[in-house]
Amino acid sequence: MSQEEEDDINFKTGSEISSSKATYTVVRLLGEGGFGAVYLVEQAKTKKQFAMKVEKKMDTRKHSKLKMEIAILKLVGTCKHFTKIEDRGKKDKEGYFFIVMQLVGKSLSGLKKERPNQIFTFGTGMGVGSQCLEAVEELHKQGFIHRDLKPQNYASGQDDERHLIYILDFGIARKYLNDKKEMKTPRESVAFKGTIRFAPLSCHRYTEMGPKDDCESWFYLLIDLILEGGLPWRHCKVKNEVLKIKENTRKDNRAALYKGIPQTSELNKILDYIDSRAYQDRIDYKFIYKALGEACSNAGCDINAPYDWEMPKEISGTSTETAKSMKK
């Protein structure tokens, strides 16, 4: 076992962690990432629950994921698709630091797994996809790209916020605008970052990524929400093979992307638009929202209808037809 693994942060239920402002009790682990973990915690005084993201301090690491997370959450301020920071702290002696943030509900990937055939209805897919893009648009406005958009990195809100989608995890986000708000000069070669399944073509080709590449990953995510069986390259783990399949869907095999999806012409329009953009190009987000709305109305769905997980089980578990009849 390496020293790093031995030093893993591992809080047991009931552990107490204090900042200068408050004390938090660990309820349970929510998830573990490469550099730390996320815990469900309860503020001792108020009994309010939060998510605490903890990162080990490591001298060998150039970039702290948590610092990037804090920088971005501060920048976006009160934008509705981003979690609010409640508190933060560091423990020099124990070698970790943490942020306490607003608790959100299940991730899109978790919500999807609970569905029949593990996909959302078309209307929910388009509505959720639209909110996912709003979050990305806001991030781009602040001069950052996300570089790891996938259903695991979005979640619904809790309780009366179940219709609201939050974007999570800015660990590998990157500034693409300089201080004068101009596009940075693209680097000649770039390391692969992110998740193979949702990576844009530029990432596979080791070239610089810009806003349009986030949009490409977002498009794969959109399709993944509604395509029975998932994306055509889902079983392939080899980067170059996945690149070939993705390239093929731009040529002869476009149909593989849409198998069984009721309305494809607007989706096609969106993909063509994203593919027509280059690294430095601005994105016309309105064009994409409009196409999502049209896809929905052409399929007889209401983009603003309650999402699958907001419906009583007996309704949400049935076919697209039922979801259509819920229109209005």
Q: Which residues are catalytic?
A: 148
Which of 20, 34, 59, 189 forms a contact with ligand ATP (CB under 6 A)? 34
Given the complex with ligand ATP, which of 87 and 266 has the nearer CB atom? 87
The position carrying tokens 């933060």 is: 88
**Pairing between β-strand 23-32 and β-strand 144-145 as defined by DSSP bridges:** unpaired
Q: How far is the CB of 198 from ligand ATP (least distance, A)?
A: 12
Minimum CB separation of residue 36 from ligand ATP in Å reads 5
**Matching residue, tokens 């790093």:** 4
The verdict on whether residue 328 carries a ligand-binding annotation is: no
Q: How far apart are the first and last CA of the chain?
A: 58
Residue whose beta carbon is closest to ligand ATP: 33
Rounded CA-CA distance 62/192 in Å is 17
Closest by CA to 203, choosing from 212, 53, 158, is 212
Among 22, 41, 51, 231, binds ligand ATP (CB under 6 A): 51
> Contacts with ligand ATP: how many residues (CB under 6 A)?
18
Question: Can you count the helices (H) and strands (E) in the chain?
Answer: 11, 10
Nearer to ligand ATP, 152 or 280 (CB): 152
Q: Is 169 in the site for ligand ATP (CB under 6 A)?
A: yes
Residue 99: CB minimum distance to ligand ATP, A: 9
Q: Enumerate residues 78-117 that contact ligand ATP by CB under 6 A.
A: 83, 101-104, 107
State the nearest-atom distance from the C-beta of 102 to ligand ATP, in Å: 6
Dump the DSSP string for 272-313. HHHHH--TT----HHHHHHHHHHHHHHTT--TTSPPGGGS-H
**Is 33 near ligand ATP (CB under 6 A)?**
yes
Provide the CA 143 distance to its chain's centre, in angstroms. 17
The answer to whether the CB of 88 falls within 8 A of the CB of 38 is: no
Q: Does 36 bind ligand ATP (CB under 6 A)?
A: yes
- Which residues participate in the annotated binding site for ATP? 53
Interface residues toward ligand ATP, by CB under 6 A: 30-31, 33-34, 36, 38, 51, 65, 83, 101-104, 107, 155, 168-169, 171
